[in-house]
Amino acid sequence: MTIIDPQKVPAFPVYTLKISEGRESLTLDGAQIPVLDGEDFIEAGKNAIVAKLTSHNLGMVRARAIDEFSGQAWDMIIAATGEVLDLTEQQEAEQAAKARKQRRNKRLMIAGVSTLAVLALGGLGTAVVIANQPAATVPAYTPQGVGATLPAAPPPQHSATAAWSHPTRADATVNMISPDRLLTADPEGTVTGRNPSTGQPVWRGDKAPEDLASIHQGTWAGKPVYAAAERNELRLWPVEMPYDTPSVAPTSIGLEPGQTARTDTHTPYIELGDWYIRVPDRAGTLHDVMIPPGSTVLDVAADGTITTISATKIYTLDNTGKILEEKNFTAPDGATKYPVRVWLLDDTHALLAWDDTERIMGVMNTSTGSMLFSGTPRAIPTATEPLLVDKEAKTAAIGSVGISYNDQAALIDLPTADLSAIHGNLIYANSNNGPVTLDLRKPEAEPKTWANYRAEDPAPALVTDDAVYLVATQLDNTTVYRSNREQ
């Protein structure tokens, strides 16, 4: 028999069972579950959860059963062995304890007013006693899906079994939004931030965008946010999540037809057209700003200042559009207008593209306003193609263009492939012959395959110094796996 310790079961994911209002159907995370004649709905749901746990190599999970007719809900923990722990009584006891604590704190607060003078004299000693108390013991997190066999061959020198694995949405990717947080998409439509090493959930947000790579970290009204442009809205999630909150909802800002949002800048903003943009002030209130005609936005800084670039000038504007500074800019030969595309590579470098008399792309040092190098690519990437960047190695790739903006600066035409990840000088991609790598150090960047199981094997969604992250589908179940580097 499996012993279920609620302290060791992550707060999410939470599988959701729904019994229809007419008690005619049962769903698990939106998928229909067959119920046999005479079978109990909850029992059928439990069996479906056990099957899902087994297929995803998970030991146990939290679940919520919702009766849409009565509106009642039951929380439970279900193990892959079939054991169930009903959390309803525990939650009711916790709520009662919380209410008692609130009443006690209120009494203490009233009493504290009358003893303020005493505490002022004895406060130092009191503080020492409190500081020396042992910290609350936090149970160690147990990684989920350990040892699961990867259904696709990882690159050489990586394990064929998972350090951890979790269910994810079909066709999803992953996003290393910061060194200590990896974003993954949940099957139920939320986005989870995980500890990259263990897979432990540390953050969760509602309304995951279709492309997780489109999420960038920025600043809004002085607060760190995750930002993504999705269809007709700009979504902003707070980076910090209260400890007692299962997930955070994004603030959604509607986009009208013809408007687009840009989120790779330090502060997200909205393009309105006709030389107008919409930006937040220090309080987060949106207002319209006219930029110098004939220029396009390079960046909106965390403090609200705006930088734009024209064919010959770089402008710095305050948050209202007043020009604070302008300096000369020397565009590459053949570029006669402002750039048609701008991508920020890191805090001090931007990738620019011109497409007027001829196709030109190059990297600019945004600190100095000077071009590092430029070249003539086979094609200019579209605004919707994903940009892959290794900021430490100063390499990037987008569409059919590879970029090195380190000591070996170069612009390289890439063969046709579906780019998935970049690490150092190696680009990982999916091709008709299976997953491949493209080496930016070689002028031709010819695809190189590695031993795989089949041509349909996916290339890694992310590669780091110590692991690769692979997203693969088996029998309609999609899973993200971490495969550790072995050498």
pLDDT tens profile 277-333: 999 998 899 999 999 999 999 999 999 999 999 999 999 999 999 999 999 999 999
CA-to-CA distance for 297 and 359, rounded, in angstroms?
20
Count how many domains the chain has.
Answer: 2
Show which of 69, 86, 103 is a domain's final residue.
86
CA-to-CA distance for 213 and 229, rounded, in angstroms?
11
In a domain, 221, yes or no: no
Listed residue (486, 487, 426, 485) closest to 459, CA to CA: 426
- Write out pLDDT tens, residues 39-61: 788 888 888 899 888 877 778 88
Confidence at residue 133, expressed as pLDDT on a 0 to 100 scale: 38
**Do residues 58 and 102 share a domain?**
no
In this prediction, residue 118 has a pLDDT band, given cuts at 50, 70 and 90, of very low
Confidence at residue 121, expressed as pLDDT on a 0 to 100 scale: 29
In a domain, 26, yes or no: yes
For residue 420 the two structure tokens come to 């998935």
In a domain, 181, yes or no: no
In a domain, 486, yes or no: no
**Do residues 65 and 110 share a domain?**
no
**Do residues 11 and 82 share a domain?**
yes
**Do residues 21 and 62 share a domain?**
yes
Confidence at residue 157, expressed as pLDDT on a 0 to 100 scale: 94
Residues 6+ apart with CB under 8 A from 67: 19, 73
**Do residues 60 and 25 share a domain?**
yes
**Do residues 12 and 32 share a domain?**
yes
**Where is pLDDT greater, at 127 or 173?**
173
In a domain, 452, yes or no: no
Listed residue (358, 349, 351) closest to 376, CA to CA: 358
Show which of 73, 107, 131 is a domain's final residue.
131
Confidence at residue 103, expressed as pLDDT on a 0 to 100 scale: 47
In a domain, 28, yes or no: yes
**Do residues 27 and 75 share a domain?**
yes
**Structural domain range at position 57:** 6-86
CA-to-CA distance for 64 and 77, rounded, in angstroms?
9
Confidence at residue 11, expressed as pLDDT on a 0 to 100 scale: 65
Given a cut of 90, whether residue 20 has pLDDT beyond it is no
In a domain, 450, yes or no: no
**Do residues 76 and 111 share a domain?**
no
**Do residues 35 and 104 share a domain?**
no
Q: HSE on the CB side for 10, CA within 13 Å? A: 26
In a domain, 98, yes or no: yes
pTM to 2 decimal places: 0.73
**Do residues 70 and 26 share a domain?**
yes
C-alpha to C-alpha distances, 457 to 57, 426, 434, 451, nearest whole angstrom = 20, 18, 6, 10
**Where is pLDDT greater, at 176 or 124?**
176
Confidence at residue 106, expressed as pLDDT on a 0 to 100 scale: 41
Given a cut of 50, whether residue 83 has pLDDT beyond it is yes
Show which of 86, 118, 140 is a domain's final residue.
86
Given a cut of 80, whether residue 124 has pLDDT beyond it is no
Confidence at residue 72, expressed as pLDDT on a 0 to 100 scale: 79
In this prediction, residue 443 has a pLDDT band, given cuts at 50, 70 and 90, of confident
Residues 6+ apart with CB under 8 A from 356: 335, 336, 337, 340
Confidence at residue 60, expressed as pLDDT on a 0 to 100 scale: 85
**Do residues 111 and 125 share a domain?**
yes
**Do residues 75 and 110 share a domain?**
no
